Amino acid sequence: MHELTDETEQLARTIFEQVLERQRMNPMSLGGIGSSATLECDLSGSITAAGLGFDEAMRRWSDTVIPNVIAIDHPRYLAFIPHAPTQASVFIDLFVSAASIYAGSWMEASGAVVAENQALAWLAGLAGYPKEAGGSFVPGGTLGNLAALHTARETARDRRRADRPARWQVAVSSESHSSINQALRVLDMDPIPVPVDDRFRLTASALEKVLAERKPDGLCAVVASAGSTNAGAIDDLAGIADLCAELGVWLHVDGAYGLAALASETKRAAFAGIERSDSFIVDPHKWLFGPYDSCALLYRDPALAKRAHSQSADYLDVINERNDWNPADYAIQLSRRARGLPMWFSLTAHGTDAYGAAIDQTLTLTSQTVVEIRQRPELELVLEPDLSVLLFRRIGWNDADYLTWSDELIASGTAFVVPSRVDGKSVARMVLMNPRTTMDDVRLVLDSMG
């Protein structure tokens, strides 16, 4: 299995050709959602003692596995959070896999660590963090949020050695991503929910009011969103940063989706206050055009994260005693894929201006779509977008109508769009962050609601 034979070289050529062919297609097939009975049947007998050989494995791959996944980089995949990796990042990612890069430690991957840190430093610089800021790429926003909140609590624990509270609390907005509540469950901390304003934003005044009422004695962090998932809303980061400084609590900003727009000169000011946060995340696999999976986790003071996360064991002393920068020290991880390298490579090749321009292009498309929705009497915008998430209603539709519309678009291979909810009622939701999506794509989807 480990020798490169004529047969494995032929397999490699087949795979490379198929990868290239897929990238050439614009658009590629949207893919589909299979039935478990059919898929189980088509893939039955895959795992055998003797193996089925490359031809049969490839046949099962091409005929069953790939047609039954949704191409979320399709220009009309507008649901949840779409995906739009650059060609350079996709292809170099093949190399990252093939090169078996173990990027947990400097000792084993110094070149990869410096490259990843350059990509992190670019993001830290956009956010206005000091030079000493740093962190690590982790698999996704969920794990980035978990690691940051663990660091926040460990830091509070260290500071309050003498008067530790019975329970630790974290203030979160009612629009925080579900991963925040999950992180709090994992960490056994209590959320203090704060209602959002009519634009779905967490404001300093609402936060202050809730804290004045609740008087939590174990508040160790506040989580703000820089682009909430459902509405794309940017919280009042500056006001919240003031309050956190006054209270002496950690400010974590979840910018998994939205903070990518720091790369846009026209949008950067909307994140004022981010420079005073203690940690933030932004996912290259979302609006920073990297392949799965990748979240950039940054700390203003990475020494605090290292104290919270560094693992020690006899066999790791050889790494820890060198005092190098080891990415494994900054999150819940040890072995790690160099998942920041595709972003570094693509950034290095294309330059940061290209990233700003690509994000601006999707923001322009969003503005044009707002105009288009307003021109259609059957549609009603729920709110003016802060970023590139659009929530809108089809007047006269009920929950079932939205689901039927979505199912039909998916089944016909036209588009992948799913409804969401606002105040308990179904609404249409589209996220425009793929630079390959055009106004014609958007119109096709809007026409299907006519």
How far apart are CB 177 and ligand PLP at their closest, in Å?
A: 3
The Cα 314–Cα 311 span in angstroms is 10
Residues in CB range of 428: below 8 A, 6 or more apart: 390, 391, 392, 393, 394, 402, 405, 417, 419, 420, 449
Identify which of residues 228 and 264 has a Cβ nearer to ligand PLP in the complex: 228
The continuous run of DSSP H or E covering 421 comes out as strand 419-422
Identify which of residues 173 and 229 has a Cβ nearer to ligand PLP in the complex: 229
The Cα 112–Cα 355 span in angstroms is 21
Stretch of residues binding ligand PLP (CB under 6 A), selected from 23-31, 140-148, 190-198, 330-338: 140-148
| Residue 197 exposed, middle or buried by CB count within 10 Å (0-12, 13-18, 19+) | middle
Identify which of residues 86 and 225 has a Cβ nearer to ligand PLP in the complex: 225
- What are the two backbone dihedrals, phi and then psi, of residue 193, each rounded to the nearest 5 degrees? -75, 140
Decide if residue 81 touches ligand PLP (CB under 6 A): yes
Identify which of residues 257 and 330 has a Cβ nearer to ligand PLP in the complex: 257
The count of chain residues that interact with ligand PLP, using the rule CB under 6 A, is: 13
How far apart are CB 393 and ligand PLP at their closest, in Å?
A: 22
Residues in CB range of 305: below 8 A, 6 or more apart: 135, 147, 148, 151, 279, 299, 329, 330, 331
Residues in CB range of 72: below 8 A, 6 or more apart: 80, 82, 83, 416
Decide if residue 232 touches ligand PLP (CB under 6 A): no
Identify which of residues 54 and 292 has a Cβ nearer to ligand PLP in the complex: 292
The Cα 368–Cα 370 span in angstroms is 5
Decide if residue 173 touches ligand PLP (CB under 6 A): no
Amino acid at 263: A
Decide if residue 386 touches ligand PLP (CB under 6 A): no
Decide if residue 257 touches ligand PLP (CB under 6 A): yes
Beta strands in 12-157 (DSSP E): 134-138
How far apart are CB 88 and ligand PLP at their closest, in Å?
A: 21
Decide if residue 93 touches ligand PLP (CB under 6 A): no
How far apart are CB 142 and ligand PLP at their closest, in Å?
A: 3
The Cα 420–Cα 393 span in angstroms is 10
Decide if residue 277 touches ligand PLP (CB under 6 A): no
First to last CA, the chain: 56
The DSSP string of 331-349 is SS-SS---TTHHHHHHHHH
How far apart are CB 396 and ligand PLP at their closest, in Å?
A: 30
Decide if residue 229 touches ligand PLP (CB under 6 A): yes
How far apart are CB 230 and ligand PLP at their closest, in Å?
A: 9
The Cα 257–Cα 210 span in angstroms is 27
Identify which of residues 229 and 369 has a Cβ nearer to ligand PLP in the complex: 229
Decide if residue 434 touches ligand PLP (CB under 6 A): no
Residues in CB range of 273: below 8 A, 6 or more apart: 236, 237, 238, 239, 240, 241
**Residues in 176-195 at the binding interface with ligand PLP, rule: CB under 6 A:** 177, 179
Q: Identify whether the C-beta of residue 144 lies closer than 8 Å to the C-beta of residue 111.
A: no
How far apart are CB 292 and ligand PLP at their closest, in Å?
A: 9
Which one among 82, 140, 216, 218 touches ligand PLP, defined by CB under 6 A? 140
Decide if residue 141 touches ligand PLP (CB under 6 A): yes
Identify which of residues 236 and 283 has a Cβ nearer to ligand PLP in the complex: 283
**Other beta carbons within 10 Å of 167:** 10
Decide if residue 256 touches ligand PLP (CB under 6 A): yes
Decide if residue 254 touches ligand PLP (CB under 6 A): yes
How far apart are CB 433 and ligand PLP at their closest, in Å?
A: 11
Q: Identify whether the C-beta of residue 315 lies closer than 8 Å to the C-beta of residue 130.
A: no
Amino acid at 61: W
Decide if residue 142 touches ligand PLP (CB under 6 A): yes
How far apart are CB 386 and ligand PLP at their closest, in Å?
A: 13
Stretch of residues binding ligand PLP (CB under 6 A), selected from 188-196, 249-257, 356-364, 372-380: 249-257
- What are the two backbone dihedrals, phi and then psi, of residue 89, each rounded to the nearest 5 degrees? -70, -35
Interface residues with ligand PLP (CB under 6 A) are 81, 140-142, 177, 179, 225, 229, 254, 256-257, 283, 295
